[in-house]
């Protein structure tokens, strides 16, 4: 598979492999990896942060498809309109919202803009007048994400890579428990932590487990989970409680953060990137940050998009 990446050199961004990089190819069809990243991994200084893309092979949806699935169950009229909006539609996209209420039309407009967290928050407030607890929206999200019981090969590979030497640590914004399921065949035991219960980043072996920084589904389907799902949730955990940004700030100083399974425009990714983007230009103690994103061939536009947000981007 062809490979390309964005590298930051001082204040200038360039695309390609610099003469200072030694690139290691692990095998035919596999991504090429910078040697310095492999060495950092061997030292236990790499922390993977995983998004919805890692669960797509297990038949779980990305954020956009999750919104569509929720509307299919809860509002068929809006769902029919949303299905006619193609990926990549922008704010200038026009669609016929006749027959919808003003609230429903506002939700369609936000969907076109890709503000999926806002869409779900608006739907929750319209249907249940709340954005927490056991709302119908959250029950549908939990139902959709618990249909799949079998992890994909990618989950098992990531759990192997998450071994820091004496501790296995991986971060995810996913609500599903597929990483934990994958770990059962590899480890005698793996702990799950969510939101406020997540241990503070450190080099010690106590900093271990599957860390769900946006919340995790409860193993008991009768109990609801605290999830960072809607726009109000992001405001609560990123701005008011600062649970997520404080975690990311600390982790970025101790580990090379490696993003897997994200689109640069995903709502969770926007918030994560914003949490460290400003610090990267002001402090020199942040580690290099990398992302791998799925593609059949290098996409120069996608690489440029990632370059503006992160240190290094690699098609995988």
Residues 174 and 182 sit within 8 Å (Cβ to Cβ): no
Same structural domain, 174 and 125:
no
Domain stops at, among 99, 129, 145: 145
Question: What's the pLDDT score for residue 7?
Answer: 35
Tell me which residue has tokens 């930051």: 8
Q: Is the pTM of this model over 0.75?
A: yes
Give SS3 for 107: helix
Same structural domain, 286 and 184:
yes
171-218 pLDDT per residue, tens = 999 999 999 999 998 888 899 999 989 999 999 999 999 999 999 998
Same structural domain, 298 and 211:
yes
C-alpha 90/C-alpha 305 separation (Å) is 16
Q: How many folded domains does the chain comprise?
A: 2
Quick check: is 293 in a domain? yes
32-88 pLDDT per residue, tens = 788 889 999 999 999 999 999 999 999 999 999 999 999 999 999 999 999 999 887
**Domain limits at 252?**
6-60+150-315
Same structural domain, 43 and 69:
no
Question: What's the pLDDT score for residue 311?
Answer: 61
76-86 pLDDT per residue, tens = 999 999 999 98
Same structural domain, 92 and 208:
no
Question: What CATH number has the domain bearing residue 238?
Answer: 3.40.50
Same structural domain, 108 and 216:
no
pLDDT greater than 90 at residue 295: no
C-alpha 71/C-alpha 64 separation (Å) is 11
Same structural domain, 154 and 134:
no
Tell me which residue has tokens 């939700």: 107
Same structural domain, 131 and 220:
no
269-287 pLDDT per residue, tens = 777 777 776 676 677 788 8
C-alpha 304/C-alpha 299 separation (Å) is 9
Quick check: is 282 in a domain? yes
Quick check: is 1 in a domain? no
pLDDT mean across residues, the chain: 83
pLDDT greater than 50 at residue 10: no
Domain stops at, among 90, 125, 145: 145
Domain stops at, among 114, 145, 176: 145
Residues 3 and 314 sit within 8 Å (Cβ to Cβ): yes
Same structural domain, 87 and 31:
no
Question: What's the pLDDT score for residue 96?
Answer: 87
Q: For residue 294, what pLDDT band results from cuts at 50, 70 and 90?
A: low
Question: What's the pLDDT score for residue 109?
Answer: 94
Give the residue-averaged pLDDT of 284-307: 72
Quick check: is 104 in a domain? yes
**The Cα angle at residue 99 between residues 98 and 101, in degrees rounded to 5:** 100
Q: Which of 2-16, 133-147, 223-237 has the lowest mean pLDDT?
A: 2-16
C-alpha 305/C-alpha 307 separation (Å) is 6
C-alpha 311/C-alpha 197 separation (Å) is 29
Phi, psi (deg, nearest 5) at residue 261: 85, 30
Same structural domain, 32 and 90:
no
Same structural domain, 15 and 121:
no
Quick check: is 76 in a domain? yes
Same structural domain, 181 and 265:
yes
């Amino acid at each position: 598979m062809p490979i390309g990446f964005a590298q930051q050199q001082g204040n200038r961004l360039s695309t390609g492999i610099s003469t200072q990089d030694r690139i290691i190819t692990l095998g035919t069809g596999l991504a090429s990896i910078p040697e310095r990243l492999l060495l950092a991994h061997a030292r236990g200084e790499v922390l993977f942060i995983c998004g919805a893309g890692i669960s797509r092979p297990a038949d779980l949806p990305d954020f956009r498809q999750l919104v569509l699935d929720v509307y299919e169950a809860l509002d068929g009229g809006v769902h029919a309109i949303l299905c006619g909006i193609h990926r990549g539609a922008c704010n200038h996209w026009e669609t016929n919202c006749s027959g919808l209420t003003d609230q429903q039309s506002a939700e369609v407009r936000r969907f076109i803009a890709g503000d999926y967290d806002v869409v779900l928050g608006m739907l929750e407030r319209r249907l249940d007048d709340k954005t927490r607890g056991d709302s119908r929206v959250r029950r549908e999200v939990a139902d959709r994400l618990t249909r799949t019981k079998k992890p994909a090969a990618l989950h098992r590979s990531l759990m192997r890579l998450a071994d820091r030497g004496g501790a296995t640590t991986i971060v995810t914004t996913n609500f599903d428990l597929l990483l934990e399921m994958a770990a059962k065949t590899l480890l005698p035991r793996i702990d799950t932590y969510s939101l406020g219960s997540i241990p503070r980043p450190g080099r010690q072996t106590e900093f271990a487990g599957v860390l769900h920084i946006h919340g995790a589904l409860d193993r008991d389907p009768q109990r609801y989970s605290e999830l960072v799902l809607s726009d109000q949730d992001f405001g609560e955990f990123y701005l008011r409680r600062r649970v997520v940004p404080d975690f990311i700030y600390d982790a970025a100083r101790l580990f090379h953060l490696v993003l897997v399974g994200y689109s640069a425009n995903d709502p969770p990714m926007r918030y994560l990137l914003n949490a460290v983007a400003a610090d990267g230009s002001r402090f020199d103690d942040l580690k290099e940050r990398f992302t791998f994103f799925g593609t059949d061939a290098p996409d120069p536009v996608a690489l440029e998009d990632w370059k503006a947000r992160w240190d290094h981007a690699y098609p995988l």
